[in-house]
């Protein structure tokens, strides 16, 4: 794959990564609004299960989507031509701690979901 095609693919995957953030934030904002104003409706076990499933499955889908984007971007960085890898931007991309970023994403989303589940139940 040539450099132009590789940068286009990277731009698409970066847009995918940015694109999942707004739905994730809106979904959890809606969950917090329901928790804050749900009242007696939240005492129904069916409502609790539906809200918990929404929080867990929606978050899992979002974090897996973002994780896949991160993996693709890191792989594309390794496929870049040597002259790009020698630039400061190339060095940042090649040497980025992808494993740490991926782990932090999973931990943060897990903590958000755990807090929501504690509030639901």
Q: What is the pTM for the complete model shown?
A: 0.85
Cβ-contact 14, 73 below 8 angstroms: yes
Question: Could you give the C-alpha distances from 69 to 7, 51, 56, in angstroms and in order?
Answer: 14, 27, 20
Q: What is the pLDDT along the chain (121 residues), one digit of tens a residue?
A: 788 888 999 999 999 999 999 999 999 999 999 998 887 878 888 989 999 999 999 999 999 999 999 999 999 988 989 998 899 988 998 888 999 999 999 999 999 999 999 999 8
Cβ of 34: how many Cβ atoms within 10 Å? 18
Domain residue spans in the chain? 3-120
Cβ-contact 105, 66 below 8 angstroms: yes
């Amino acid at each position: 794959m040539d450099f132009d095609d590789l940068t286009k693919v990277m731009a698409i995957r970066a847009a995918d990564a940015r694109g999942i953030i707004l739905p994730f934030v809106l979904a959890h904002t809606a969950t917090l609004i329901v928790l804050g104003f749900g009242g007696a409706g939240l005492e129904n076990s069916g409502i609790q299960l539906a809200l918990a499933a929404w929080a867990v499955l929606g978050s899992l889908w979002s974090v897996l989507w973002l994780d896949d984007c991160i993996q693709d971007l890191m792989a594309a960085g390794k496929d870049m031509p040597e002259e790009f890898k020698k630039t400061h931007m190339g060095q940042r991309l090649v040497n980025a701690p992808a494993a740490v970023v991926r782990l932090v994403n999973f931990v943060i989303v897990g903590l958000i979901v755990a807090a929501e589940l504690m509030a639901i139940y």
